[in-house]
Structure 1
């Protein structure tokens, strides 16, 4: 099932619509507003574990679920947005501002069966072009992770292929380890 879309909006019009924070979130690119697909169990398990692993292995970065990032004419909501603490804008009370207006340092998308891979890749490449340092597209059906980084060839990782992470994230992972998180041990 394809997610609904609304066309011919400006970014400002899109950001003023009350529906964009409905679940699942809406994204905007090139005048087109598209609702993301609703996460399923495997997606949610991978997202939860990635958030915990990244946060548990870095004091420089924080991993945030479903953070709306509006920058360079788009408004996207990566499944996991990893951002340096120093890049999070704060208000006069020292609390984070609600709007994040830059590309995340590391964007992670977990492909759902109903999602269009090229739309996801387009958003990930936009992050790289606008200053992101790393992006992953995790495909649970193919047990693969597509990785993009500036000035590097794309890399598809499967099995014991080590995964590239940000400097400052003390984490060593393989594609195999990530997909093992989907194994539920029954007692």
Structure 2
């Protein structure tokens, strides 16, 4: 069996199409995927950028032999939030999410951006995505859409920590929701590992 080829970004060059798996570049056509300062991209926000860097190190050390989802939950839990990410990653109830956001306003946003960054990062590095991870990314995207669609309906940012960036800017909120739609579409096109 031929060993899997991994695609890693050059530390000095950063995100690049040339250092991405061909399966990844065949699916993603939007430039924002390769913009390291675009807060609405999987790798441009702090959580997603850190996730890609940690994932790269994980692949370099393990060659992907360990279970990625276990690593993901451990990574998020090491951030020191009050809740366990494995439990919280399945939440989609507006009431439960609102309760968590009141207790820890950064938790859900950070967790979701990390999950999304790791999911797209695995596709970028390997060209495919773990089945369980793909479901987690779908849920994270759906959760972010639900949270921010409510804000859009109310005309102001109320939920989540991304609001610190949006303020009450409807245009930015719509842009974020549009990006989530694109990521959701692209995610469905990736081959499952």
User: Is this a same-fold pair by TM over 0.5?
Assistant: no
Higher strand share: 1
Higher helix share: 2
> Normalization by structure 2: what TM-score?
0.29
